[in-house]
Chains A and B, each alone.
Chain A
């Protein structure tokens, strides 16, 4: 290994000579700067190689020809090497992005940049407590210089505050270090840690001072206003260095002094870190300015990393490997994502207006596709979505905490993570959808719906550094995942598909469609051996559905950029949910699905709010699921059934799934997500993706349903939740003017029936559930595909703006007709089978009132279904829609296929029911059985084939009579009818289909005041208010910040004394 001292020598020599070199021109001197930073990175890489692959052990280096205790020692071990790499990496990215300001400012800027990074590296390497102080000061003082180097007004203000806090911290450190020397007799860390004097009594206090200084430097809540101001105002490159490199160095410094710490110290670190994580994220929730928001996120993340290291020591979470993985993973994730995002915020051009630069104008507009991908990767990583390091770290952390039964810590960490996800993704949505300018001006993003789509922002060279950070995140995430033995290629297939399709995003849509279908087919082929009966059924809906929607996506011409990669990724993610064999693998697949579907929703036109609530609820549900999974040992291990000891965690899993399924109460994300995404994506979400939740619920209930606490009551409650979902879904649907909203609410209602049927928990109930799920897939696909065609042809989603399309789009009409007959459960189509099964199993179970309510709900469904078909296809044609044509083949072909399938399974119910009953029969004693073509329950019977024959026969009879008796009718046109109305102010009010069910609303409207929305809005307001209250701490006054720092230290001291 290279002696790191040479790097210090080289850096200092470069820095010292820089003013002279600068005489040769700024290009030369900047090249020297980059070369110096790169040298650190290269050496760090060589260290890592030697330590991890060449099998060389950690090594210590003496200075001045002596060794400890006389001389200062440097140590190169794995964490040091990684830290050096992180610092130089961030430094290089930031320095690259800062090329222009560095070139324009005096050479002092470049000099302090070198010394800052060298100082941080020294913090990482040294094993001497006082030498650590020297490097802390090199880093701090260089940072003070860097903050001000390009003379931003705000940065100057912030820099002074930064200095005040840094000054107090260094005084604390000095006091600490000298007394550590006094009580231990050493300045060398390892020797001091071995000395007895530091543990107990005054030694503890001495170590406390040392620790307090490091904690203050790590920006704990509430003593971190100074840092956040600096993040906000400094050059984004400097902010990136502060947030990424400096935090890495300081965390490693904390890591280094850990051996000196006693229990009380560790508790202080953990408590302070967690409080910072929670408070930082809450304060960030209110933040509209991008960089300040990133600042809050930074302090929060660093707090979490610090807490993790301390928690491991306190609770024994898993030792060194655990800390490397979790703290290291979180840190890596944080520093790359934050570096990327800070630099991205600079490339977008926000805040530049504050300097009067012309670049401020660039802030208006949406990101270019490439920029959007980069931003998406960075934000997704920050939020902890797969496959990035934060995801793996979060899982391992939660798993370890669950092993120690620290439920409150889990709740705190996940709650704060959710808040963080909320504001980070809000920002992502804003910049991707074109509100970057609004945010740059410090306002919360509001753009009137219907405003012209702003121009695309092309990042140009500014995208390089963020893109590199994003690439590093991807690579490290994949490596970490592999390391945690998530190495099943099928689990990674979604990302591969997305990457390949993104790469050819400019290719024509049909090509990408075909590739997507091929991908789904290949996935199914490869996974076939691992699919049991149940999984095969779901594979039809998930993979088959995905492929079908990929096909349908051809209905709009053009490249449809971004759609196919996301659709394909979501499809394959659904597939990987089916094949996952470990809890982690499953959760990975689940979160991948969440991510892909979120982006799919985001692609919609007016989908900002919808996408945000979709992902927040999606993540919230996923977190519940995750806690449930880690809390049950052996959950999701293949073939685990009826594991004892699974108690309340099962409820968490169920709750998470109910959120995902949009059960009443947690349904507020649903209408927006289903309505605002692209039309075929809506269909995919509603008919395919929602089945993933059903699938997991089936598996979870199959494994744990019998050992649930209070089994009967729990199931009854679950049933009522499903029932309420069904009823309210239908009730909400009938008042919608927006066709897709109608379908969205309808989906919610239909899923409600599935939940209800699952709760019945016997063979009849589960047969019902799976039958309903498959049927819902069939007819909801038909509806969404047909409606996609309609919307494409008429260009609106408001039903009252349509009418009489039966003559223009007869095939779509037929498809919708079949679908609504099936959906409403009218015999002889297969929907009736679902109704019959549902009522039979409910009555058999003895759930009579439930049966009555279900009957009511399904009657209500008639209302919206009739309205749907009537308003669109019947009634008066609109003159403006005279030229409408039938939907494109890409939509009608799948509909035709689905119709054939629908008829087949209606006439021959055993086609569908036999496989279902075979699957269900493995878990339950039979209640239902077939006698010939008749399905027999203890209460009654249903012969689908015979009823189909009778119906067809009767229908044919009547039809013949009608034809035989038809006497030369005269077909009349639209206006051959009496109209007597004047044109009022709002034209839609004259449309008979507007406010179609006014009397109904008068009678039962009180049921449909959206209480769910109000509740969640209140939760949101609450979080917002808490965040608002927290951030009032940050008054902007440097002295108040100083007071915070001192009070923080005092409070920590007193608390530690109390412990």
Chain B
């Protein structure tokens, strides 16, 4: 009872702090100077049609590198925690009910499409909404469908690790190339910025997003597999 009162009080108090803040912030009527700067400069400087992508991959590319590191750390943590040895034999697969016919059929149909779609998303991140993470998640969805439809199936752990490691290393290498051939670490202008709107534009942004997509896909798949509980 006491606890409920306290929880209520805590929620009310938090609302008291949060709501006025949100209310007073209101709705902007025009972007600030920084935002306007990005909007005006990104296409010209980087040749990226998608300004958000320009920000994510280059201006604030260091954030993205960190973001990759976060996901990587989570994968490593999950991988270290959820091994078959630690979870015990009971926790391993085989508990779930077998997949239904619908799921299995759909999986067969969708897997290829999903992978293709994922690749599309991350290769076109500089042009359209989307990018490496989104693409990677879509690819991981394909893996998830497969894990669900055939619980006994195994991912090739070595392959996953290899993709993950190498694509991560490739990202770092691309960043370093920026430092060597362009103006700084993670500078995408190591390749010609091209014409705004074309696939081969925005310097190395498509490349970076591709390796990110691969890495994220592999990592998320790894996490999903680990959660299944039968990793060696």
Complex A–B touching at CB under 8 A: yes
Q: A15 touching B69 by the CB < 8 A rule? A: yes
Q: Which chain A residues in 99-152 approach chain B with CB under 8 Å?
A: 105-109, 111-112, 115-116, 118-119, 122, 128, 130-131, 134-135, 137-138, 141-142, 144-146, 148-149, 151
Q: Given known contacts A66-B59, A70-B37, A183-B25, is B168 in contact with A145 (CB within 8 Å)?
A: no
Cα separation A448 to B32 with both chains bound (whole Å): 73
| Residue A684, interface by CB 8 Å | no
Q: A16 touching B10 by the CB < 8 A rule? A: no
Q: B13 touching A1050 by the CB < 8 A rule? A: yes
Q: A9 touching B24 by the CB < 8 A rule? A: no
Q: Which chain A residues in 1004-1047 approach chain B with CB under 8 Å?
A: 1040, 1043, 1046-1047
| Residue A45, interface by CB 8 Å | no
Report B-chain residues with C-beta under 8 Å of the C-beta of A1051.
13
Chain B, interface size category, equals 35 or more
Selected from B25, B34, B169, the residue in CB contact (under 8 A) with A13 is: B169
Of all chain B residues, the one with the shortest Cβ separation from A1045 is B10
Chain A, interface size category, equals 35 or more
Cα separation A1047 to B41 with both chains bound (whole Å): 44
| Residue A422, interface by CB 8 Å | no
Q: A142 touching B10 by the CB < 8 A rule? A: no
| Residue B117, interface by CB 8 Å | no
Report B-chain residues with C-beta under 8 Å of the C-beta of A849.
none
Report A-chain residues with C-beta under 8 Å of the C-beta of B80.
105-109, 111-112, 145, 148-149
Stretch from B102-110, B134-142, B177-185 that touches the partner: B177-185
Q: Which chain A residues in 143-173 approach chain B with CB under 8 Å?
A: 144-146, 148-149, 151
| Residue A186, interface by CB 8 Å | yes
| Residue B3, interface by CB 8 Å | yes
Q: B13 touching A63 by the CB < 8 A rule? A: no
Q: Which chain B residues in 62-88 approach chain A with CB under 8 Å?
A: 62-63, 65-70, 72-81, 83, 86
Q: Given known contacts A72-B60, A106-B79, A1050-B10, is B66 in contact with A64 (CB within 8 Å)?
A: no
Stretch from A199-207, A548-556, A869-877, A937-945 that touches the partner: A199-207
Report B-chain residues with C-beta under 8 Å of the C-beta of A511.
none
Smallest CB separation, A990 vs chain B (Å):
64
Cα separation A173 to B73 with both chains bound (whole Å): 20
Report B-chain residues with C-beta under 8 Å of the C-beta of A15.
69, 72, 76, 168
Report A-chain residues with C-beta under 8 Å of the C-beta of B186.
5, 63-65
Smallest CB separation, B225 vs chain A (Å):
14
Selected from B16, B60, B175, the residue in CB contact (under 8 A) with A1050 is: B16
Q: B13 touching A1043 by the CB < 8 A rule? A: no
Q: Given known contacts A138-B73, A202-B20, A1049-B17, is B185 in contact with A3 (CB within 8 Å)?
A: yes
| Residue A19, interface by CB 8 Å | yes
Report B-chain residues with C-beta under 8 Å of the C-beta of A855.
none
| Residue B128, interface by CB 8 Å | no
Of all chain A residues, the one with the shortest Cβ separation from B67 is A134
Smallest CB separation, A380 vs chain B (Å):
37
Report B-chain residues with C-beta under 8 Å of the C-beta of A1049.
14, 17
Report A-chain residues with C-beta under 8 Å of the C-beta of B7.
1043
Q: Given known contacts A112-B73, A141-B73, is B185 in contact with A63 (CB within 8 Å)?
A: yes
| Residue A182, interface by CB 8 Å | yes
Taken residue by residue from 1 to 19, chain B's Cβ proximity to chain A (1 for < 8 Å, 0 otherwise) reads as 0010011011101101110
| Residue B191, interface by CB 8 Å | no
Q: A122 touching B59 by the CB < 8 A rule? A: no
Smallest CB separation, B4 vs chain A (Å):
11
Q: B65 touching A12 by the CB < 8 A rule? A: yes
Cα separation A128 to B37 with both chains bound (whole Å): 17
User: Which of A64, A145, A182 has the most chain B CB atoms inside 10 A of its CB?
Assistant: A64
Report A-chain residues with C-beta under 8 Å of the C-beta of B16.
1050, 1053-1054
Q: A145 touching B25 by the CB < 8 A rule? A: no
Q: B13 touching A1054 by the CB < 8 A rule? A: yes
| Residue A442, interface by CB 8 Å | no
Which residues of B are interface residues toward A (Cβ below 8 A)?
3, 6-7, 9-11, 13-14, 16-18, 20-21, 24-25, 28, 32-34, 37-38, 41, 58-63, 65-70, 72-81, 83, 86, 161-162, 164-166, 168-169, 172-173, 175-176, 178-179, 182-189
The 7 A-B residue pairs with the shortest CB-CB distance in the complex, in nearest-first order: A145-B77, A108-B80, A65-B183, A1050-B13, A16-B168, A65-B187, A134-B66
A-B contact pairs, 11 of them (CB 8 A): A5-B175, A12-B172, A19-B165, A64-B60, A111-B72, A112-B80, A119-B69, A134-B63, A142-B77, A202-B20, A1050-B16
Q: Besides A205-B17, A1050-B14, 15 other CB < 8 A contacts?
A: A5-B62, A5-B185, A12-B72, A18-B165, A63-B61, A72-B63, A107-B76, A115-B73, A130-B63, A142-B73, A179-B21, A205-B20, A208-B17, A1046-B11, A1050-B17
